[in-house]
Structure 1
Amino acid sequence: MEKEIVLYRTFDSPVEANIVKDVLETNGVPCFLSNEIFSSVLPLTNSEVGAIRLNVFAEDVEKADTILSTTQLTESEK
């Protein structure tokens, strides 16, 4: 049976997206970014269409929430 992948968060900045992705992966949460190329070719600020998407398995959402709530991130990275 395949695991369900869900959209966890969106970002306008690839730097912010990669920082959060690295924090999750370092703490054992598999995740991946999508829409990175589109957002760099056609940057659309404050748009869901152009946003970089951080995806996780549905079963890991609670763990990701816990990790990010206890990790020191700047306000723009949350």
Structure 2
Amino acid sequence: MGICPVCNGFEVVQTNCPSCGSELEESGRIMDYYDDYSPYMPIDQMKLEDGYPSDYEDGQCPHLYKCSKCGYDEVKFIQE
């Protein structure tokens, strides 16, 4: 298990919205949105159940990025 540089504040990933060009806002790990208890579950367990097979195998942390202007969102995989 690695350490996610975005979760731990070591790195900021800046990217622009492909729809309107505004900067996307980092909104946390995608699995934190699954249900009320997801943020409290072990990270590796959630990676096995999140539907992204490569995140556990390749040591990546899936983060949700959203555009506050047009509503576009995407998941970016951050290397741990």
| Structure showing greater relative contact order (alpha-carbon pairs closer than 8 Å, 6 or more residues apart) | 1
- In the superposition, the TM-score normalised over structure 1's length comes to 0.30
- In the superposition, the TM-score normalised over structure 2's length comes to 0.29
Higher relative helix content:
1
